Structure 1
Amino acid sequence: MRLSAPPALADTGLFKFILPRFTLKHRVKVDLVEGDSTARLGRNAGSAVFSDAGGNWRLDLQAEAHAGSVKFADWLMSDVGQRTVVSFAPEGIALFAAPIAAEVIEDDTVAEGNTLEGQALALTHCGRCHVVSEANRMNAIGSTPSFAVLRTFPDWEGRFQAFFALKPHPAFTQIEDVTDPFPEDRPSPVVPVEMTLEDLESILAFVAAMAPADLGQPLQLK
């Protein structure tokens, strides 16, 4: 996988410390690059994975993210990954800590899936049509609402939970152990979207953590 990060973060030596440990454990080679990458560490986008004096560092999986990137994200957020990051202490001084908890937004939604895995799944399965994140902003269908816009709907959770039953999704979507197979005389008109209920839970977790789009104030008509 290819990982990009600001030079200031790379210059701390953190990656020379943690990446060999991840590779040894998961047999996934990580190339630290400055250009195009499958995962990006920064301040503004993605899920918070660790923090320093400047606040949270966030990992953002890109549209072309593959299994190795998801493994790295899972490892970085696991107890082992967190302990590895926190234990990096050049000259005996720890530079990083666990992510700073974000302000709790009042919401009754409880999603149990993995948000980073959900982001990767959403980009793979839903990014053909919807803008899922900045990673595929220029590759979606303009007439299809983005995830951030859908997140503003009061019934967004129900829409995502039952998306496979809402048109046009039934024509090309298969949820393992939930949907019926396509009739032999009416196969999917496009490459099918195939996922499990666990995949859907992860996508829901990703969407639940997403900030709704700022659509401005409603029009005031006189």
Structure 2
Amino acid sequence: MLVLLPVLGNAGDRDFRLNAPAALVDSGLLKHLLPRFSLKTQIRVELVEGAAEVALVPEGEGVAVFSGVGATWRMQVNGAHGGAARFAEWLTSDVGRRTLTSYQVDGVQAFTLPAEEAELDVAVSFAGDAAEGLKLSSVHCGRCHVVSEANRMNAIGSTPSFFVLRTMRDWHRRFQSFFALNPHPSFTQVAEVTEPFPANRPSPIAPVEITLDDLDAILAYVNQLKPADLGAPIKHQ
């Protein structure tokens, strides 16, 4: 077992394990990426052989995140885990990509972003009940987001609508990990996933309390929405 950053104490749903083949470990990329991610987020990553919350693989399923060492590497997030979801968000963000492409070996860029065709949206499907997903979205998400035509006038104008979020190539990953993305952690509880609110820091608003089955239903609902027509391609972080 290789340990890049030691896990200290009980970090609950933040610290996580990462599995990667020897070829990627030996390239030095992870020694470049992971400390920078941990410095930014205070989430520690343990590099392991075997079962892990996140895996980087040279082929198979997963999101294409970078190319190098003779392969296009894909990221697999196994299960719902806050720290792992935060890493997936960071690695595919502008900051994460700049960190990735800045890694050099003997003055030469060692890794690149995946080819454009690897980033194209692929068909996804979800087994949840879309009708139930609409109800859950209206109750839990409609307080801030436009989730359907029915609540178009009742949401907060500064938050993106589900229709706008649906235009993003990684919309499903964003929804799957929403509970780890600010501001949601301060008021969201996912049964058997998130840690209870600290006694001295309760939710500042009526909390969103859902299960993974509820989240599957919401994903099924959003999957059938027609993306907003924004004209030029949307730019987002």
TM-score by length of 2: 0.49
Q: Structure 1 residues 3 and 161, CA, compared in 2 at 3 Å: closer, same or farther?
A: same
SS of equivalent to 1:37: coil
**Counterpart in the other structure of 1:120:** none
TM-score by length of 1: 0.52
How far did residue 82 of structure 1 move? 0.4
CA contact (8 A) 1:75 1:81 kept: yes
Runs of at least 5 residues in structure 1 that lack an aligned partner in the other structure: 110-147, 166-172, 180-190, 206-222
For residue 35 of structure 1, what is the amino acid of its counterpart?
G
Q: Structure 1 residues 53 and 37, CA, compared in 2 at 3 Å: closer, same or farther?
A: closer
SS of equivalent to 2:27: coil
Alpha-carbon displacement from aligned partner over 1:37-87 (angstroms, at most 9, x marks no partner): 000000212111111263421100012x41000000000000110011111
CA contact (8 A) 1:50 1:96 kept: yes
For residue 59 of structure 1, what is the amino acid of its counterpart?
M
How far did residue 102 of structure 1 move? 2.5
SS of equivalent to 2:43: coil
**Counterpart in the other structure of 1:162:** 131
CA contact (8 A) 1:175 1:195 kept: no
Q: Does 2:132 correspond to 1:177?
A: no
CA contact (8 A) 1:87 1:94 kept: yes
Alpha-carbon displacement from aligned partner over 1:95-122 (angstroms, at most 9, x marks no partner): 1111212369899x8xxxxxxxxxxxxx
Instruction: Specify which of 47, 62, 66 is matched with residue 46 of structure 1.
Output: 62
For residue 211 of structure 2, what is the amino acid of its counterpart?
V
In the aligned structure 2, how far is the partner of 1:34 from the partner of 1:203? 37
Q: Does 2:56 correspond to 1:87?
A: no
Instruction: Specify which of 28, 37, 48 is matched with residue 22 of structure 1.
Output: 37
In the aligned structure 2, how far is the partner of 1:103 from the partner of 1:89? 23
**Counterpart in the other structure of 2:86:** 71
For residue 162 of structure 1, what is the amino acid of its counterpart?
A
Q: Structure 1 residues 104 and 162, CA, compared in 2 at 3 Å: closer, same or farther?
A: farther
